[in-house]
A and B are shown apart, each in its own frame.
Chain A
Amino acid sequence: MKALIQKLVESIGPSGYESNVRELIKTEIGDAASNFQVDPLGSLLVRTGKKTAAGMRVMLSAHMDEIGVIATHIDENGFVRLTTVGGVSPRTCYGGRVIFVSGVHGVIGGDRPDSPTSMHSIEQLFIDVGATSRENCPVKVGDFAAFDRPFLDLGDRLVAKSMDDRIAVAILVETLRALKGKETPHELVFVFSTQEEVGLRGATAAAYGVDPDLGLSVDVTGVGDTPKGAKMEVGLGKGPAVKVRDGRMLADPRIVRWMVDTAEKAQLPYQLEVLEAGTTDAAAIQLARAGVPAGCMSIPCRYIHSPSEMVDYNDVTNCVRLLVELLSHPIELK
């Protein structure tokens, strides 16, 4: 599975420009499914299984997009000013590298700071693509870029620029593969969504289109297991996290119980997650049409929205196992 993860996390797909990721997912799913659809906002919908009397239409969602930057101005010396796509902190930018959707590479520099300790604002940063004038700059206003950083395999711990949320994309692809040939009473709609980082936009539209009986997103969540870190129970390597609530969603308690019971029955590790800020596609699914019971399975992740997001490989494989268990049997919400 690490090879799949590496391919996914190293592909480039800032919000709104997820095509590379989408094509890669299609290739990786291969003949594990046959019903592919791209919706009007670019989300990839992959359907398997038929809804039986004991089954549901289940929407699973992992977002394809990643945070990035957009070129706003090319100055007379060919430096590119930028704005952000999604939650990018200037702290993680200076000295970093970006790659534009067009393939152009660049490094991030900044105006000379007022003092050695002051931090750049986004307005004070620029991208140097090696150009010397506005005319020979290969970037134009409106071009999108993502951060550029190779995949790092530390054994159990994996590091990449876009674990958020390609690790969940990899999990859903692997789950699809694992479910091939297995009996399931459900119609499963795997949604690889767009524009999550700018406000759950792809999932909002996809959930309306899918009209599911139950929704589950898979995304990363913060942790409290680093030195002087956040006060939070969740940590790396303790299993996938069952979300109880986050900044914009109260998970359906019946779904929380269903996930916890299934994990215990299958003797799979899990932890409970209460996240103070931030949210996932599940918040959008929950409010689609007349409302949908929704929950989220989270992968604990350190250094979220930095170019070095870290997850634990065992959490990833256990998440796949738990999802296969969850989706192979009739679901009783109680």
Chain B
Amino acid sequence: MQVVLDAGVAIYIAMSVALVVWLGVFVYLLRIDAEAKELKRLVLAARLQSPTQSSGVQVEHRTPSAN
């Protein structure tokens, strides 16, 4: 514990923690971005196919399996 709190080491640990957090956020954003795009594509396709029919059920079925 003493080594971790040493001024020379602590800054590298703080940087590593910040980088790991950013990596996690970045991967999460990439995934959610891809899923949002796919969802939009499915909804727009469903609206084109049946503009007067509810598309909510179709989207619910297709989104999770599509990814």
Partners in one complex: no
